[in-house]
């Protein structure tokens, strides 16, 4: 009897090989156990699975495929596990499902997870997870996560996560998603964004460049970055555009935060103007162009301007930061062209030389080194270290000059100052004009404090105020008044009007006074008040020369006696400011005499004016020395008086 186990094993199995089967439900052959038939292997599979759901060996060595759906696992040890019309050509490649997918590679190991009409080619180890019409043609290790019409053609390590019509051809480049994006630079990244047509796609062209999103952006510089926005371009090393529209960098290490049409432009190569920063705004570092203010686009494109090395423009519109390390805070059409210069804001302000500053205002110019214009309009600081605080149409020409404010003031002397006012002119060194109107000072270190139409021509002169006053000689002063004139040196007009001094070191006060001699005070009238009653040390008095009007001193021809007096009622120390002391006592009165130091020849008179000293004595006691060789003297007769004089530190009755 032969057994099945005694049969020789088949050398191969195919779908036409025959099986012996028994159908227990078929009793047509008269056997109660069922009818006996032969069947092919294909018939058995069809009966068991419906004909499409069983894996079979394919033409590749060790390869398998899902049968019945025109799948083909051609590569050795490759797999097509499902789907329709899928082909696994590369060795060790896998097509998990989908339709019309092809995994072909020189070495193999490519994988297609599903989708339709995807192709994973190249050397090997590439992956397409899904989507349709995606292509990976990479040396190794590249991936398309999904989407459609995406293409990877890089050396390897490249990824497109999704989206459609994206192209990654740079080694280890990445596209996160979006549409019509391109990553060409090695290590470049486009996170997403793009648009509905190729012109709106983002392009990461530079090595290690990155685009976060937006559309129409181009990162062409090495390690450059664009965060998003529309049609921004970085074409220099380590440059950055965070966002905005149509911003462009051509200088190395430059940055644009946002805005529209801003440019960091380097004229010769990207290092010439490196490190430029523009925070935002509109068309900064450009000039010209025709603007459509409806959507803030250009009808005619502007012209880019060379940026300064490591210059900064924080914002505003069409500001030009052309000086190295210069700063513009904002505003409109400001220019910072000197090194280390600053324009804080305003409109059409300009700094031309190093370390100059314009804080704001309109059309102000800081033209020389260290010069400053704080504000106002049409002001110009031309001198070294010159300063204008504000106002309009003020001009400082020479070094160290200062105009605080006002209008139409002009200063041309070194270290000179005009505080303010209108149409004042200072034209020599060390001049000061405090304010006023139409004052002119051309004298060296001269001063006009205020007023109007005052004129100083000579050095070290001063006009404190008033109107139409004039000094033409050195070291003179007019304190104020109207139409006063000094033509001589060292002279003074205290005030008044129409006074004229033509003699040196003279003074005048009043109205219409003319000097007649040097070293003389001239006035219309002289009134003396609160003068001392007497001066024992002076034997001169004042007289007036009737021919010249000059007041002079003249010696006294005789000694005119005059004694200052006082009245007392109580005990006290008397003093030298009075000569006569009248006493009216209702009790004893003790008087201490004053010091005798440096008082030889001085006298005091003490009188009992009340006539009571017979009852209430008056005692005189020296503070130092003796009186008629006694320590004190008593007055004890009614109406008695004593006259005493100092000599050699002692007192004597005379």
Q: Is pLDDT above 70 for 516?
A: yes
Tens of pLDDT along 102-159? Answer: 999 777 899 999 999 999 998 889 999 999 999 999 888 999 999 999 999 988 899 9
pLDDT tens-place string over residues 37-58: 787 766 666 565 554 457 788 8
Q: Does some domain include residue 347?
A: no
- State the average pLDDT over residues 356-378: 96
Sequence-ordered list of residues with C-beta below 8 angstroms from that of 139, at least 6 positions apart, any chain: 122, 123, 154, 155, 156
What CATH number is associated with residue 605? Answer: 2.60.120.640
Q: Which residues of 305-343 are buried (b: 16+ CB within 10 A; e: fewer)?
A: bbbbbbbbbbbbbbbbbbbbbbbbbbbbbbbbbbbbbbb
Residue 45 CA, distance from chain mean position? 83
Structure tokens belonging to residue 147: 């989407």
Q: Which residues pair with 410 in a beta bridge?
A: 395, 425
Contact 554, 543 (CB under 8 A): yes
Position 43 scores a pLDDT of 66
Average pLDDT over residues 270-292: 92
The total of other beta-carbon atoms located within 10 Å of residue 188's CB is 31
* Arithmetic mean of pLDDT over the chain: 90
532: tokens are 């001392």
pLDDT surpasses 70 at 446: yes
Count structural domains, the chain: 2
Q: CB under 8 Å, gap of 24 or more: what pairs does 132-136 form?
A: 134/160, 136/110
Q: Which range in 138-142, 205-209, 559-563 is most confidently predicted, on average pLDDT?
A: 205-209
Query: Which of 7, 32, 51 is where one domain is finished?
Result: 51
Contacts of 157 (CB under 8 A, 6+ apart): 140, 141, 142, 171, 172
Rounded-to-integer distance, Cα 443 and Cα 373, Å: 26
**What's the pLDDT score for residue 379?**
97
- Give pLDDT tens digits for 608-618: 999 999 999 99
Q: Which secondary structure element, helix H or strand E, spans residue 69, and what is its range? A: none
- Enumerate long-range contacts of 574-581, CB under 8 Å, 24 or more apart: 574/604, 576/602, 579/603, 579/604, 579/605, 580/605, 580/607, 581/605, 581/606, 581/607
167 by Cβ neighbours in 10 Å (0-12 / 13-18 / 19+) ranks as: buried
**Given this model, what pLDDT does residue 559 score?**
43
Check whether 203 has a pLDDT greater than 50: yes
The SS3 assignment for 49 reads: helix
Rounded percentage of the chain residues whose pLDDT exceeds 70: 90
Q: What is the pLDDT of residues 184-196, one digit of tens each?
A: 999 999 999 998 8
If one counts every other C-beta atom within 10 angstroms of the C-beta of residue 298, the result is 16
First to last CA, the chain: 190
CB 119 within 8 A of CB 132: no
pLDDT 10s digits, 452-480:
999 999 999 999 999 999 999 999 999 99
Q: Establish if 169 belongs to a structural domain.
A: no
In this predicted structure, what is the pLDDT of residue 33? 76
DSSP 8-state code for residue 6: G
The whole-angstrom separation of Cα 469 and Cα 487 is 11
Give domain status of residue 35, yes or no.
yes
Q: Give the Å distances, CA to CA, from 334 to 284, 356, 532, 586, 630.
A: 10, 14, 71, 93, 97
Query: How many whole angstroms separate alpha carbon 332 and alpha carbon 346?
Result: 6
Q: With contact defined as beta carbons under 8 Å apart, do 503 and 522 qualify?
A: no
For 25, the domain range is: 17-51
Residue pair 63/78 in contact (Cβ under 8 Å)? The answer is: yes
Asked whether residue 34 is assigned to any structural domain, the reply reads yes
- The maximal CA–CA distance of the chain, rounded, in angstroms, is 193
Residue 487: inside a domain, yes or no?
Answer: no
- Is residue 136 in some structural domain? no
Local confidence band at 561 (pLDDT 50, 70, 90 cut-offs)? low
Is residue 166 within 8 A of residue 194, CB to CB? The reply is: yes
Residue 600 resides in a domain: yes
Is residue 619 in a domain?
Answer: yes
Tokens of 602: 């001085």
The answer to which of 30-34, 73-77, 83-87, 284-288 has the lowest mean pLDDT is: 30-34
CA dist list (Å): 549 to 366, 477, 518, 544, 629: 57, 23, 13, 6, 55
Q: What pLDDT, in 10s, does the model give residues 401-426?
A: 999 999 999 999 899 999 999 999 99
Distance CA 405, CA 392 (A): 8
DSSP 608-630: ESSS-TTTS-EEEEESSS-BTTB
């Amino acid at each position: 009897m032969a057994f099945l186990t005694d049969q020789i094993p088949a050398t191969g199995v195919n779908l036409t090989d025959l099986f012996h089967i028994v159908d227990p439900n078929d009793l047509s052959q008269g056997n109660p156990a069922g009818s006996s038939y032969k069947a092919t292997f294909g018939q058995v599979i069809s009966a068991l699975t419906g004909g499409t759901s069983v894996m079979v060996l394919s033409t590749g060595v060790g390869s398998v495929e899902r049968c019945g759906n025109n799948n083909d696992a051609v590569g050795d040890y490759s797999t097509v596990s499902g789907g329709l019309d899928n082909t696994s050509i590369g060795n060790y490649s896998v097509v998990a499902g989908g339709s019309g997918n092809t995994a072909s590679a020189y070495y193999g190991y490519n994988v297609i997870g599903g989708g339709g009409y995807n192709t994973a080619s190249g050397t090997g180890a590439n992956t397409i997870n899904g989507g349709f019409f995606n292509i990976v043609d990479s040396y190794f290790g590249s991936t398309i996560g999904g989407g459609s019409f995406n293409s990877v053609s890089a050396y390897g390590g490249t990824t497109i996560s999704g989206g459609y019509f994206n192209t990654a051809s740079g080694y280890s480049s990445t596209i996160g998603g979006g549409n019509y994006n391109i990553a060409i630079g090695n290590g470049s990244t486009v996170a997403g964004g793009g648009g509905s047509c190729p012109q709106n796609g983002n392009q990461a062209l530079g090595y290690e460049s990155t685009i976060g999103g937006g559309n129409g952006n181009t990162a062409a510089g090495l390690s450059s970055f664009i965060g998003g926005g529309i049609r921004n371009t970085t074409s220099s090393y380590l440059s950055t555009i965070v966002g905005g529209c149509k911003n462009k960098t051509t200088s190395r290490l430059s940055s644009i935060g946002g805005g529209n049409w801003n440019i960091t432009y380097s004229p010769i190569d990207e290092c010439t103007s490196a490190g430029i920063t523009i925070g935002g705004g509109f068309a900064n570092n450009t000039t010209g162009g025709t603007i459509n203010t409806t959507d803030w686009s250009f009808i005619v494109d502007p012209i880019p301007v060379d940026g300064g090395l490591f210059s900064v423009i924080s914002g505003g519109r069409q500001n030009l930061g052309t000086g190295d390390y210069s700063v513009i805070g904002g505003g409109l059409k400001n220019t910072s062209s000197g090194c280390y210069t600053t324009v804080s804001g305003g409109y059409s302000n300009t700094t031309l030389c190093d370390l100059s500053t314009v804080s704001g205002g309109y059309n102000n110019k800081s033209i020389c080194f260290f010069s400053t214009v704080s504000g106002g309009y049409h002001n110009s600081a031309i001198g070294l270290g010159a300063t204008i605080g504000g106002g309009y149409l003020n001009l400082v020409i020479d070094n160290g000059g200062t105009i605080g404010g006002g209008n139409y003031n002009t200063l041309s002397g070194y270290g000179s100052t005009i505080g303010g006012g209108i149409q004042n002119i200072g034209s020599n060194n060390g001049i000061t004009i405090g304010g006023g109107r139409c004052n002119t000072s051309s004298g060296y270190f001269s001063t006009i404090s205020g007023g109007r139409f005052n004129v100083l021509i000579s050095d070290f002169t001063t006009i404190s105020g008033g109107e139409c006053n004039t000094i033409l000689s050195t070291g003179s002063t007019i304190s104020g008044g109207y139409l006063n004139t000094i033509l001589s040196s060292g002279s003074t007009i205290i005030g008044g009007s129409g006074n004229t001094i033509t003699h040196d070191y003279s003074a005048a006060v009043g109205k219409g006074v003319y000097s007649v001699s040097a070293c003389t005070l001239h006035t219309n009238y002289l009134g003396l008040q609160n003068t001392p009653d007497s001066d024992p040390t002076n034997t001169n008095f004042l007289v007036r020369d009737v021919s010249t009007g000059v007041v002079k001193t003249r010696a006294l021809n005789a000694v005119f006696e005059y004694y200052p007096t006082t009245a007392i009622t109580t005990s006290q120390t008397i003093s030298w400011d009075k000569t006569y002391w009248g006493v009216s006592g209702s009790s004893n009165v003790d008087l201490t005499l004053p010091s005798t130091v440096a008082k030889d020849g001085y006298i005091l008179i003490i009188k009992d004016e009340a006539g009571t000293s017979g009852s209430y004595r008056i005692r005189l006691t020296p503070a130092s020395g003796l009186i008629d060789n006694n320590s004190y003297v008593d007055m004890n007769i009614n109406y008695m008086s004593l006259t005493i004089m100092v000599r050699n530190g002692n007192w004597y009755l005379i």
